[in-house]
Structure 1
Amino acid sequence: MSINKKLDPRVKRTHQLLREALIALMCEKGYDAITVQDIAQRATLNRATFYLHFRDKEDLLQQTIDDILNDLSSGMTSVAIAEKEDEPHPDLIYIFEHVSRNSDFYKVMLGKNGLPGFMFRLSDMISRRLHEKIAARQPDENQLKVAKDIFTSYVTWAYLGVIVWWLENDMPYTPKYMATQLTLLRIQHRRLLFGEHKEQMP
């Protein structure tokens, strides 16, 4: 069962304790070395309580990933928004705020003890959003100066690289500052993609 707002507060609390225990243990010794007993003990619960909510540790991990990525996706806009030079893009603010709120999770999942598949799942989500925004701005791909697939791959992995750097350095800048910096880069990328000049910018 997914961790959502409809759950009883006591159930939500139990799920949160188990999630936090899993993330802490992954940071300490990696996912493969963790047992259900480890998770229950760290969460100060018993194994029977764990199995009332999840089938196994894989079920807990996958539902944790699903819930966090669903939260990320739901907070991002689905349409293209014209950026102003001095304002951070709303999507980027949300992404960095979301990562900050879930920093323990992202530090583990994007670090050496994380799961490689998570990085690709996250990159796929960001890439699909970029595809949607480009298509909304310019439906005719022949008019683009850079192939859309190449452009979205480049920007997606640039974003992820910056997010990993930010986490590894204990988030030295605020989410808004990070969003502002990437917005400036995003504007330059957009000019390249659409062949715009500064005077043509909104």
Structure 2
Amino acid sequence: MSKTRKVDPRIIRTRHLLRDALVSLIDESGYDSITVQDITDRATINRATFYLHYRDKHDLLISSTDDILHELITNLDMTSTPVVSFVDLEEPPPSFVGMFAQIAKHADFYRVMLAKHHMPYFVARLQEVLAGFIQEGMSSVLAKENALTVPKEMVIRYTASAFLGVVIWWLENDMSYSPKYMASNLLRMATKGPYANDPF
């Protein structure tokens, strides 16, 4: 059996420096005005090294997005999580808490790409990741789709959009609540609504 080849730590460090430079420059100037020279100057890396890793700034953006979301997907993996229970909302599934913890870990990236500059590729990819997570969660608790009053895909898209909006709000407010608090209360709203007693 072949072993997975480890990436040289120097390569990882270089890519992180370039990603961080890209994010900080987008935050300051917007994506369109940035050049590869700007990125390499900020990262204190020469252009030749940049082109060993990426074709252009768009390739860096796509690769950075995919790397960040791959980490998120790994944390959201529900295949190793027991069937989700909505009985004890004070103890939300670890994968759901992990989602917020992962976002907090890369808060600068998410804040710039999602909350401040709303980069289309990143927003679309994140929405798909959230939709997949919600679909898995529904499949683990929903025995029959005819228990729904609307099409399942509509529920998934509605909930994914709500989750995305809450994540943006959390980032804009400096993540003033813990990942566990966010996971618990977002799950509560998604399953029981925001009211202590139904006002309707």
Secondary structure of the 2:77 match is coil
Amino acid at match of 1:29: S
Deviations for 1:76-132, whole angstroms, at most 9, x for unmatched residues? 133541131321232321111011001111011113424123212211111122222
Residues in 2 aligned to 1:126 and 1:114: alpha-carbon distance in whole angstroms:
16
Please tell me whether the aligned partners of residues 111 and 171 of structure 2 are also in contact (alpha carbons under 8 angstroms).
yes
Change (3 A) 1:30 1:63: same
2:112 is the alignment partner of 1:122: no
Alpha-carbon distance, 1:5 to partner: 8.4
> Taking structure 2 as the reference length, what is the TM-score of the superposition?
0.85
8 Å CA contact 1:75–1:94 kept in 2: the answer is yes
Q: Hey, what's the Cα distance between the residues in 2 that align with 1:100 and 1:59?
A: 24
Matches within 5 A, 1:1-202: 6-79=6-79, 80-83=83-86, 84-188=88-192
In the TM superposition, structure 1's runs of 4+ consecutive aligned residues that sit over 3 Å from their partners are none
Give the counterpart letter for 1:46 in structure 2: N
CA 1:5–1:107: 2 relative to 1, 3 Å? farther
Q: Provide the secondary structure at the position in 1 that maps to 2:32.
A: helix
Identity %, equivalent residues? 45
Distance (whole Å) between structure 2 residues aligned to residue 60 and residue 6 of structure 1? 21
Q: Is the 8 A contact 1:54 1:60 kept in 2?
A: yes
Q: Report the Cα distance in structure 2 between the residues aligned to 1:5 and 1:71, rounded to whole angstroms.
A: 18
Q: 1:50 to 1:123 in 2, by over 3 A?
A: same
CA contact (8 A) 2:135 2:156 kept: yes
Deviates more, 1:17-26 or 1:112-121: 112-121
1:186/1:114 CA distance change after superposition, 3 Å: closer
1:40–1:50 contact (8 Å) kept in structure 2: yes
- Greater shift after overlay, 140-149 or 7-16? 140-149
Q: State the distance in 2 between where 1:17 and 1:5 align.
A: 22
Alpha-carbon distance between aligned partners in 2 of 1:30 and 1:85, rounded to the nearest angstrom = 40
| 3-state SS of 1:45 partner | coil
Q: Give 3-state SS (helix, strand or coil) of 2:76's partner.
A: coil
Partner Cα separation in structure 2 for residue 147 and residue 104 of structure 1: 36
Unmatched 5+ residue regions in structure 1? Answer: 190-202
How many residues of Structure 1 are paired with residues of Structure 2 in the alignment? 186
Judged with a 3 Å threshold, the aligned counterparts in structure 2 of structure 1 residues 14 and 171 are, in CA distance, closer, same or farther, namely same
- Give the RMSD, CA atoms, in angstroms: 1.9
Structure 2: tracts of 5 or more residues without a match:
194-200
